[in-house]
Amino acid sequence: MQRLLTFDDLVAAGYVANRVTLSRRIRRGEFPAPIRVSSRNVAWLKAEVDAWEKARIASRDAGRRGRAEIASTQLCDTVQPA
């Protein structure tokens, strides 16, 4: 059985602060969509939220590597041989 996260769980973990922002992110495809668990309740699969979080971290780290490579290249271009 997969673990489910409620809206309150998402807030407590720091993923979102309010329902409006969460709805916007879901509509834009920037956050996993919830599943309906009853007529009035929705929840998020923990595995999907974890995968989303890992993708965000990987994207951030890829950006850092890219900036470091650009800075290294620019430094090599500006250093004159003796």
- pLDDT tens by residue, 24-52: 999 999 999 999 999 999 999 999 999 99
* pTM for this entry: 0.74
Residue 71, pLDDT score: 59
Q: How far apart are the first and last CA of the chain?
A: 66
Report domain extents, the chain: 4-78
Please list the helix, strand and coil fractions of the chain in percent, rounded to the nearest 5, in that order: 60, 10, 30
Asked if residues 13 and 22 have their Cβ atoms less than 8 Å apart, the reply is: no
Chain centroid, CA 66 distance in Å: 19
For 3-51, strand residue ranges (E) read 4-5, 35-36, 42-45
Alpha carbon distance 61, 35 (integer Å): 30
